[in-house]
Amino acid sequence: MKLRKRPREEDQINVVPFIDILLVLLIFFMVSSRFTHNAELKLDLPTAEETGGQQRQPETVELAVHENGTYSINGRAVLDSKPETLRKGLREVAGDRTDIPLILSADAKATHQAVVTAMDVAGQLGFSKLSITTRRDENAE
């Protein structure tokens, strides 16, 4: 009797379950991840104990936030409190020179939202040198 050799099947690794697991993990990480970009501004905060005041240099932009939430840039009032108007005003004053210092002066009674909006607009425009002015407390000591 003549026996024939059966052709031997090659061993293969089935990768379909592996791909399924990878796709499930990919979907899980995509759904569970937060895709928020937090605007980061480098803050150069002056200390309040310092006796010498900071002099306004001619190549700076001073942004003031008033008690009622309105803004002024270098002493000139901005028309309204909208971020778009503030952005346009800062562009007019600074132009493309976002490397110059921006001094943010906020009234003590100004809302936190108004100050954060000013900082956000400055960050979006590319200002990286931001100083927040403070006043020395006369009663301290």
CA distance 63 to 70: 11
> For the segment 91-123, what is each residue's pLDDT rounded down to a tens digit?
888 888 888 888 888 888 888 898 899 999 988
Q: Rounded to two decimals, what is the model's pTM? A: 0.54
With beta carbons less than 8 A apart as the criterion, state whether 57 and 104 touch. no
Neighbouring C-alpha atoms within 13 Å toward the C-beta of 60: 18
- On average, the pLDDT of the chain sits at 78
> For the segment 17-30, what is each residue's pLDDT rounded down to a tens digit?
999 999 999 999 88
Given the DSSP bridges, would you call strands 102-106 and 130-132 parallel, antiparallel or unpaired?
A: parallel
The class that CATH gives domain 43-47+56-132 is: alpha beta
Q: Which two tokens stand for residue 29?
A: 């990480």
